[in-house]
């Protein structure tokens, strides 16, 4: 490994690593959504036939397979992002710290399950040449997967709200991000009725928060500050 890269990595703080995880997760999620593409309109009378034709296309099957692999790695980044936010933004003895990690973990699990269900027919077609695409199955899996994805983004919104509540005490992030988080949370409350547009709010929020953590300067994370104070007290 080049010395410059090694030194750069060594200089990065937990705050910056957390920001990088959020930025890469958000950008990657937008890329994965674009790769998955848009399925046919499920409200039409010939939706079953259109879904059969759509998922029988080798191109869409490969896009679903590649997108799902990317999305699976992204959910690991979401877990790292949530764990980092808990440490960087969370204050001592705060219940919200547990909410940040629990809601982030829940979001990662639900997003993984939901996206796998939605792309399930395409994945089966890409991995097995003998699989016969059934539009009815595709519609069923997409309907179930959609609501699971909505639950995942709502969990992510709960994580974001907990982060903002903690940030009012720790002041790690700029104050204006509280308003952004409020819009994100309100948008997710109605995401069941906003079709797929609601899924763009999570990556947008993650990118903004990630950039803020990367470019703004700050001291040690709250947990690190507490540990340092405890050591100083013992030494005294």
pLDDT, one tens digit per residue, over 175-192 is: 899 888 888 888 887 777
- Region 151-166: mean pLDDT is 92
Judge whether residue 226 has pLDDT over 80.
no
Q: pLDDT tens across 101-133, in order?
A: 999 999 999 999 999 999 999 999 998 888 999
First to last CA, the chain: 42
Q: Which range marks the domain in which residue 58 is found?
A: 3-235
Q: What is the mean pLDDT of residues 74-90?
A: 93
> What would you report as the CA-atom Rg of the chain, rounded to the nearest whole angstrom?
21
> How far from 133 is each of 59, 114, 194, 219, CA to CA, in Å?
14, 19, 28, 55
Q: How confident is the model at residue 3 (pLDDT cuts 50, 70, 90)?
A: very low
Rounded to the nearest integer, the mean pLDDT of the chain is: 84
**pLDDT for 190:** 77
Please give the residue that has the higher pLDDT: either 223 or 73: 73
pLDDT band at 218 (very low <50, low <70, confident <90, very high): low
Q: What stretches of the chain show up as alpha helix (H) in DSSP?
A: 3-11, 14-36, 47-56, 58-89, 95-118, 120-127, 135-170, 177-189, 201-215, 222-235
Confidence of residue 39 (pLDDT cuts 50, 70, 90): confident
Cβ neighbours of residue 145 under 8 Å, at least 6 residues apart? 113, 114, 115, 116, 117, 118, 120
Q: How far apart are CA 72 and CA 142, in angstroms?
A: 18
**Nearest-angstrom CA–CA distance, 181 and 202:** 10
pLDDT exceeds 80 at position 93:
no
- State the virtual CA torsion across 208, 158, 100, 204 in degrees, nearest 10: -20
pTM summary value: 0.83
pLDDT attached to residue 50: 94
**CA dist., res. 107 & res. 155, Å (int):** 5
The three-point CA angle 19-21-23 to 5° equals: 70
Q: How many domains are there within the chain?
A: 1
């Amino acid at each position: 490994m080049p010395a410059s890269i090694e030194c750069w990595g060594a200089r990065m703080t937990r705050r910056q690593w957390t920001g990088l995880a959020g930025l890469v997760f958000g950008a990657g999620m937008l890329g994965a959504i674009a790769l998955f593409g848009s399925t046919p309109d499920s409200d039409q009378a010939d939706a079953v036939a259109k879904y059969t034709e759509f998922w029988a296309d080798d191109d869409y099957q490969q896009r679903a397979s590649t997108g799902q692999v990317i999305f699976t790695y992204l959910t690991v980044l979401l877990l790292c992002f949530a764990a980092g936010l808990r440490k960087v933004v969370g204050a001592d003895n705060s219940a919200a710290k547990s909410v940040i990690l629990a809601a982030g973990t829940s979001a990662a699990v639900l997003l993984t399950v939901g996206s796998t269900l939605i792309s399930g027919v395409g994945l089966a077609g890409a991995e097995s040449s003998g699989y016969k695409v059934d539009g009815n199955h595709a519609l069923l899996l997409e309907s179930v997967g959609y609501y699971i994805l909505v639950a995942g983004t709502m969990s992510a919104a709960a994580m974001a709200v907990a982060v903002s509540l903690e940030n009012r005490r720790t002041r790690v992030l700029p104050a204006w991000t509280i308003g952004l988080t409020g819009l994100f949370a309100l948008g997710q409350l109605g995401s069941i009725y906003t079709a797929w547009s609601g899924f763009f709010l999570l990556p947008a929020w993650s990118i903004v928060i990630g950039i803020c953590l990367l470019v703004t300067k700050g001291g040690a994370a709250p947990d690190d500050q507490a540990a340092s104070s405890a050591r100083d007290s013992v030494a005294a």
